[in-house]
Structure formats: structure tokens, C-alpha cells
Structure 1
């Protein structure tokens, strides 16, 4: 399953050296995840957060090249695997053909008490259809 969010690098993303301050990438990743939930899974955060959440349990990011003010990035998100309550994603950010970073992320579906919650059947079915059987 795949989703892409296009992000122009704005002044607010940059440090005094004129390159993206790395924590801003995490905000962009979250924007890509939120867009994927709304546009691909048809489960927007404003609905999801009525009964639970999907916090990040793990992040691994490899920074390949800097991004500068005015660059345009495509944040290409791919769902790699689904577990009982977990979801493994990969985000590859590119400007043209140049990869700027690769992020591997694990989300966990939780209830309102912060306890792991099995993915709803409708969401699991959409994901399973694209990636195959769950873990």
C-alpha cells in the first residue's frame, strides 16, 4: 500500500544554515502518515482520535542528503506489514531522483487507556488486501 505527500521546504523548516532542521522531517513524516490514514484508509485522525490513537513505537531514519529552502520533497509512504496492533511503515523522501532520507516507523493502535488494540477489521482488510496476510 502506497501514499505520497508532496512537501515544499519552507523557511520555517530551515535552520540558520538554510537546510532542514532534522526534527522538522519528523513533522513532515507525521503529516504523511495522517494523510495516508485519511486518504488511503479512510480513517482520518479526527475520527480515529475519538476512540484511540496510533503513537509511534519505533523510528529508524537514515539521512542521505540535505534539503534546502524551496526544495520540493515527495514523501513516499509504504505500508510494509501489519501485526495485531502494530503497523510497519517506510517513508522515502525524494527531491526529484535524489533520496533525502529513508525512515522506518512502527505505529501501534491503542485504545483510550493507552493499551494496544487490534486494528479494526475494516482497516485490516484494506491493508491486508494490498500487502497480503498479517504477521
Structure 2
């Protein structure tokens, strides 16, 4: 199963040439992870942080294949590519434009990697590609 969302390309995403400035894609990848956790997993980043938990990105790999321009409406998809004891790697794609792999680690209150809580692990397993 994949999580899908349309992200419109806005002025704030673009460089003077009118195409997406590549670091903005990293923000969009994070947006996909964040909305997946809010909409699908049921654990928003705000409540996680308030509870002293977190899920930092520890690795990010991106391939830029085709530019996106101001006004484009780009369909993004996210799938769980790998699920470990304390980490997960998400495969995030923006049509034929960008492919990214983002690895996150579940952190406990003491900022150490910890096993995924059972309720979160169950949902991640259901979305494992």
C-alpha cells in the first residue's frame, strides 16, 4: 500500500528560473513522511514531540530526474521500503521527477533508538512494499 498526495508547486518552491530549487524537494519528502504519520499512522509529529518521542531522519538519498515548474501539481507516493527494529526506510516518489529514500529512527525520551511501538509497527508492516 502507498500513501499518495498531490503537492502543488508554488512560488516559494522555485528558483529564479521557475523550477523547483532542489533543497525544496527534501522538504517535500519530509512533508510526505509527516503527513503519512498524521493521516495513516495516526501519530502526528506535534503530539510525538510533546510526549518526548521523535523520529529523526538519519539518511536521505535523492535522485532528480526531471524538473518541476511553478504551477505544476505533482503526485507524490510513499511506501515503506524497509522496516527494521528501530528504523524504517521510506521510498518516496514524485511521479517521474524525483525518487528519494528517507531513513528514520524511532527515538525514546532519552534520545536513544528504540523499538517501534506495536501500534505503529503494525501499520508500517501493512504499508511495507
Name the TM-score, length of structure 1 as normaliser: 0.89
Alignment match, 1:53:
54
Within 2, Cα distance between the matches of 1:20 and 1:130? 29
Alignment match, 1:111:
108
**2:79/2:127 contact within 8 Å kept:** no
What displacement does 1:131 show? 3.0
Unaligned runs of 5+ in 1: none
Alignment match, 1:21:
21
**2:77/2:92 contact within 8 Å kept:** yes
**2:79/2:128 contact within 8 Å kept:** no
What displacement does 1:51 show? 2.4
Within 2, Cα distance between the matches of 1:60 and 1:32? 15
Number of aligned positions between the proteins: 128
Alignment match, 1:85:
86
What displacement does 1:75 show? 1.2
Within 1, Cα distance between the matches of 2:126 and 2:28? 27
Name the TM-score, length of structure 2 as normaliser: 0.93
Which secondary structure does the structure 1 equivalent of 2:97 belong to?
strand
Within 2, Cα distance between the matches of 1:123 and 1:101? 27
Within 1, Cα distance between the matches of 2:90 and 2:97? 17
More strand by share: 1
